[in-house]
């Protein structure tokens, strides 16, 4: 039976307990991954959010967590980036053909920038079935309860992506996408707290074996294009590529009460690799 939903600020999340579809996903997860049996103990609260004892960033994974090694040997560029690269190279070639070198230099510089921006590196993905990984590269800029007066309120974890960060979004946990909704809105700077609510965004609700969460792809003042490669009903695996936000943006995770957050404001995180929270036993 589905547990009662708690709706705050337009977001509904289940209280702790197994969500719909949990039986099938738990069996699939158990077949693919192992548990390490370790438990992190909370030591303090930040803005009403219980935080784990060890700072988690791109270089400090949870002790004992097994990682799927990344595949190496090639540099991948997201397919959405090739039109930008081709256009910039065309400008460069026109400049060369006209012997107008400034245009050629600008075009070549843009092509190199687009190739760097749309890079899609492989990542080492944790195998802990209760781990929730970062959905994006960037810096944690907010960690708050949706309702500060309710200790059982869901937690919002916000990550800011600068134009120099990898902009491919990844699934934070294994589960089934049960809802995908696009919400029109404003294009405020992604660093501002209001951007989480007022900006244009895509909400992706994922139900896993042990928890349910919402991933938000949020546009910014430069990011005017949100791309999601998945559809409702799709099963995604932890660290799997699910979409892209172009040219600076924000990614939010709405976490249920039964998780322990393992990052703090200011931490740098890497999509698909950094463990940002862990589902309690």
For residue 130, the 8-state DSSP code is T
Placement of tokens 């990984």 in the chain:
133
- Is 249 catalytic? The answer is yes
What are the Cα distances from residue 227, in Å, to 26, 81, 91, 118, 212? 28, 12, 26, 13, 22
User: Active-site residue among 14, 158, 249, 273?
Assistant: 249
| pLDDT 10s digits, 127-143 | 899 999 999 999 999 99
Which of 141, 139, 119 shows the shortest CA–CA distance to 274?
139
Write the CB contacts of 41 (distance below 8 Å, at least 6 apart in sequence): 52, 53
Residue extents of the structural domains in the chain:
5-69+124-279, 79-117
The percentage of residues in the chain with a pLDDT greater than 90, rounded to a whole number, is: 44
Total-model pTM: 0.74
Class of 5-69+124-279 per CATH?
A: mainly beta
The pLDDT score that the predictor gives to residue 193 is 79
Residues 6+ positions from 166 with CB-CB distance below 8 Å: 119, 120, 121, 136, 137, 270, 271
Which one has a higher pLDDT value, 261 or 223? 261
For 156-214, write each residue's pLDDT tens digit: 999 999 888 998 999 999 999 999 999 888 888 777 777 788 888 999 999 999 999 99
Q: Give the alpha-carbon dihedral of 196, 260, 55, 125, to 10 degrees.
A: -80
As a whole number of angstroms, the distance between CA 253 and CA 49 comes to 14
């Amino acid at each position: 039976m589905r547990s009662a939903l708690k709706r705050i600020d337009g977001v509904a999340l289940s209280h702790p307990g197994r969500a719909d579809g949990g039986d099938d996903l738990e069996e699939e997860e158990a077949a693919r991954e192992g548990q390490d049996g370790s438990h992190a103990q909370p030591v303090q609260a930040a803005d009403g959010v219980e935080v784990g004892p060890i700072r988690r960033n791109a270089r400090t994974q949870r002790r004992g967590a097994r990682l799927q090694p990344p595949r190496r040997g090639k540099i991948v560029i997201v397919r959405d980036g090739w039109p930008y690269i081709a256009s910039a190279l065309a400008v460069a070639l026109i400049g060369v053909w006209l012997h107008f070198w400034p245009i050629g230099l600008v075009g070549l510089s843009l092509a190199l920038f687009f190739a760097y921006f749309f890079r899609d590196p492989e990542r080492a993905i944790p195998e802990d079935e209760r781990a929730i990984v970062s959905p994006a590269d960037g810096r944690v800029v907010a960690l708050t309860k949706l309702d500060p007066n309710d200790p059982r309120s869901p937690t919002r974890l916000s990550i800011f992506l600068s134009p120099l960060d990898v902009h491919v979004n990844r699934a934070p946990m294994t589960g089934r996408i049960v809802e995908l909704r696009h919400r029109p809105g404003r294009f405020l700077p992604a660093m501002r707290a209001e951007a989480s609510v007022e900006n244009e965004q895509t909400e992706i609700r994922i139900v896993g074996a042990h928890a349910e969460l919402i991933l938000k792809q949020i546009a910014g003042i430069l990011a005017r294009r949100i791309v999601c490669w998945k559809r409702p009903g799709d099963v995604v695996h932890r660290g799997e590529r699910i979409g892209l936000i172009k040219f600076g943006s924000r990614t939010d995770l709405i976490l249920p009460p039964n998780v322990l957050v393992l990052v703090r404001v200011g931490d740098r995180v890497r999509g698909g690799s950094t463990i940002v929270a862990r589902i309690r036993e």
